[in-house]
Amino acid sequence: MPINKPLPQAISPGLDYPLAYTAAGQGRGVLLIHGSLCDYRYWRWQIPILSEQFHVFAPSLRGCWPTAFSDDNPTYNVAQHTQDLIAFLRRQSPDEAVHIVGHSRGAHVALEVACTAPDLARSLTLADPGFRIKGETAQPSFQCDVVQKIKAGAIDDAMRDFVDAVNGAGTWHQMVGWFKTMVKDNAYTVLSQIHETALEFDLARVERLNCPVLLLGGANSPARYGQRLDILESIFAHVERTTIPLASHGMNLANPRAFNERLLRFFRERA
């Protein structure tokens, strides 16, 4: 599948919500889970490359484009997204565990999937995990200001503030058109996501997890992500860690070659 070709879209049957996804390739399964303000289009530089060797699934989480919520919806939450993806995997790969990859908030969902249904996880990759670990000091949330701007109709300003907060000042200004379109398509999910700012993950839950784990961080990512990776690296029994050079939080877009090569090596070693 050429990289510049539109991603094919399907709707997963058997769920109470029209979960849109794209899939490509054959072989061992790989599940890609996007983060905040994104959808399956976020993986446009991964799907063509990974699908040359693997069967890649990239869903848009409940409430995200192309069926994006336009208001505060209680079904937009990590727990619901986790259950959606477990049901999705049980249908798409009923007989074989898959490689699970999550970025930012999607890393929280990925970890929840792996801990809730460990039989589904052949491996787990967490890229700049966007969740607070139980016991971590709570930081002031920038999302409150973002929500106020969304409610006032200042979508571009709100999205700029969000993207710059997780990547670094000035990032929004440098982003290409397709990325800005995707982010604005999912802008109103922040109205629901704001309720998760105090959500924590209890690391005691990873005791059930026996699959190998890959931790990825952007070389230029805000320090809080690296500090979280430090904690996670000390917890998992079978863990590797890599820093993606020349990249911040959106490492798979800023340096897709390094990101893809690291994933492929990790997957092949556990095929």
pLDDT score for 261: 98
Condensed to tens digits (0 to 9), the pLDDT of residues 12-46 reads 988 899 999 999 999 999 999 999 999 999 999 99
Beta strands 10-11 and 213-218, pairing class: unpaired
Where in the chain are the domains?
10-139+199-268
- Does residue 33 contact residue 86 with C-beta atoms inside 8 Å? no
pLDDT score for 135: 82
Condensed to tens digits (0 to 9), the pLDDT of residues 32-87 reads 999 999 999 999 999 999 999 999 999 999 999 999 999 999 999 999 999 999 99
Q: Tell me the β-bridge partners of 125.
A: 101, 214
Q: How far is CA 131 from CA 121, 126, 134, 145, 267, in A?
A: 20, 11, 9, 19, 24
- Does residue 187 contact residue 160 with C-beta atoms inside 8 Å? no
pLDDT score for 47: 98
**What is the C-alpha separation between 270 and 79, in angstroms, rounded?**
28
Condensed to tens digits (0 to 9), the pLDDT of residues 154-200 reads 999 999 999 999 999 999 999 999 999 999 999 999 999 999 988 99
Helical pair 177-185 and 155-167, crossing angle rounded to 10 deg:
110
The confidence band for 3, taking pLDDT boundaries of 50, 70 and 90, is: low
Q: How many CB atoms lie within 10 A of CB 9?
A: 13
Residue 2 has pLDDT above 60, yes or no: no
3-state helix, strand, coil in the chain (%, to 5): 45, 15, 40
The confidence band for 140, taking pLDDT boundaries of 50, 70 and 90, is: low
Tell the residue number behind the tokens 């979960």, with chain if given.
19
Residue 1 has pLDDT above 70, yes or no: no
Q: Which residues contact 130 (CB under 8 A, 6 or more apart)?
A: 35, 36, 104, 105, 106, 107, 108, 166, 225
pLDDT score for 4: 60
Amino acid at 195: H
Residue 138 has pLDDT above 90, yes or no: no
Tokens of 157: 């300003």
* Domain over 10-139+199-268 is classified CATH 3.40.50.1820: yes
Residue 96 has pLDDT above 70, yes or no: yes
Residue 5 has pLDDT above 80, yes or no: no
Residue 157 CA to its chain's centroid (Å): 23
Tell me which residue of 49, 38, 231, 15 sits closest to 126, measured CA to CA: 231
Tell me which residue of 50, 166, 193, 26 sits closest to 109, measured CA to CA: 193
Q: How far is CA 74 from CA 61, 63, 81, 211, in A?
A: 14, 10, 12, 32
Q: How many CB atoms lie within 10 A of CB 35?
A: 22
